[in-house]
Amino acid sequence: MAALVTGATGYIGSELCRQLSAAGRPFVPLSAGGGTLAGGRRTHPVDLREGPIAGELLAGVEVVYHLAGIAHQNAPAHLHEAVNYRATLALAEAAERAGVRLFVYLSSVKAMGPAAGCVARQENEVAAPAGAYALSKWRAECALREQFAASAMSVVILRPALVYGPCPRGNLLWLLRAARWGFPLPPEGGARSMVSTRDLAELLLLLPQEVQAGVHTWIVTDGEAYTTRQVYLLLREALGHGSARQLPAWCWRVLAAGLDMLQRQPAGSSFGKLFGAERYDNHALLRATRWRPRHNLASVAPALVGRTGATG
């Protein structure tokens, strides 16, 4: 069953391509810059902002994994609109015309808007999206649900929680740096759902055998919720570091404020991401498919910090 992968050299796309190769499944990898996958295979250079992909790239393709997108929070709103929303719809339309059987769109829990409390949210518990990134993801979701509800092409919209794995990014990368530099323990508070790149890619591989007709929207998590302190302690343990002293919460607020300035984010953004509650419920996905997460942050932490011995 041939697949097409956009964003093939990205954080999730590279893991999906690795697993597709290991499973011996044919696939067409696309990336904006035409980069190289692990193993030396070149990807097709396709910039989705320039218009629909060439029809020949979809010839014989049964599954499209659309992972490409603009995730940078400081990117201009029109770029989020063009890539995350309009290019997604254009690609889905091209896939339908080409006879693709399944279109998988990698959205985000951010499309659900800000959380109102600490209870794990389900798929229908949404609020107004906050920011251009979240809004573009939400608009793409809505367009897919409306336009392909009666299509012969099945559509799956996945909303992964924060994704972790080797070579972490964002706040996970900053926490890893803090653990390496010996920063004190973060305060208690908050809890965040996450999922590993390996489990997410395994789900993507499984979907063609699991999905029925129609449009489906599922949250993806590993079933656990991690406080920043838990994450930090797991990283320290994986690094082989011992116990650490604790600083008051206000010290972390100062550090987070510095991070906001460094990353040109609104004041309070980093502290909210680190110590706020953002929990999601994966039971709808578990009921609908045979997929079960095999990893958690503790099992992946050695690979996350660059040490051998992580669970495969």
**Mean pLDDT confidence for 4-19:** 95
Domain ranges within the chain, ordered by starting residue: 3-163+194-221+280-293
Burial readout 123-132 (b: 16 or more C-beta within 10 A, e: otherwise): beeeeebeeb
What pLDDT score was predicted for residue 308?
39
CA 207/CA 196 separation, integer angstroms: 17
Element (H, E) at 132: helix 132-147
- Return the closest-CA partner of residue 149 out of 214, 102, 99, 101: 214
Query: Rounded mean pLDDT of the chain?
Result: 89
Between 173 and 146, name the one with better pLDDT.
Answer: 146
Q: Cα Rg for the chain, rounded, in angstroms?
A: 19
Confidence of residue 310 (pLDDT cuts 50, 70, 90): very low
pLDDT tens-place string over residues 50-65: 877 888 899 999 999 9
Exposure on the CB side of residue 63, measured as CA atoms within 13 A: 20
In order of 8, 12, 161, 305, the CA distances from 106 in angstroms are: 13, 10, 11, 26
CA 186/CA 256 separation, integer angstroms: 11
Helix/strand/coil for 63: strand
pLDDT tens-place string over residues 170-216: 778 888 888 888 888 888 877 999 999 999 999 999 999 989 899 99
Least confident span in 8-17, 25-34, 215-224, 261-270: 261-270
Confidence of residue 217 (pLDDT cuts 50, 70, 90): very high
CA 193/CA 157 separation, integer angstroms: 18
Residues whose CB is less than 8 angstroms from the CB of residue 25 and which lie 6 or more positions away in sequence, other chains included: 1, 2, 3, 205
- For the cut 50, the answer to whether the pLDDT of residue 35 exceeds it is yes
Helix/strand/coil for 202: helix
Confidence of residue 93 (pLDDT cuts 50, 70, 90): very high
Confidence of residue 143 (pLDDT cuts 50, 70, 90): very high
- Return the closest-CA partner of residue 231 out of 191, 270, 259: 191
Residues 204/15, Cβ–Cβ less than 8 Å? no
CA 311/CA 82 separation, integer angstroms: 38
- For the cut 80, the answer to whether the pLDDT of residue 268 exceeds it is no
User: Is beta strand 102-106 parallel, antiparallel or unpaired with respect to 154-160?
Assistant: parallel
Confidence of residue 309 (pLDDT cuts 50, 70, 90): very low
Confidence of residue 254 (pLDDT cuts 50, 70, 90): confident
How many percent of the chain have pLDDT more than 90?
Answer: 56
Between 198 and 78, name the one with better pLDDT.
Answer: 198
Confidence of residue 307 (pLDDT cuts 50, 70, 90): low
Residues 53/94, Cβ–Cβ less than 8 Å? yes
Q: Which range has highest mean pLDDT (15-19, 79-83, 164-168)?
A: 15-19
What pLDDT score was predicted for residue 75?
80
pTM of the model: 0.89
CATH fold of 3-163+194-221+280-293, please?
Answer: Rossmann fold (3.40.50)
Residues 76/133, Cβ–Cβ less than 8 Å? no
- For the cut 50, the answer to whether the pLDDT of residue 260 exceeds it is yes
What pLDDT score was predicted for residue 30?
95
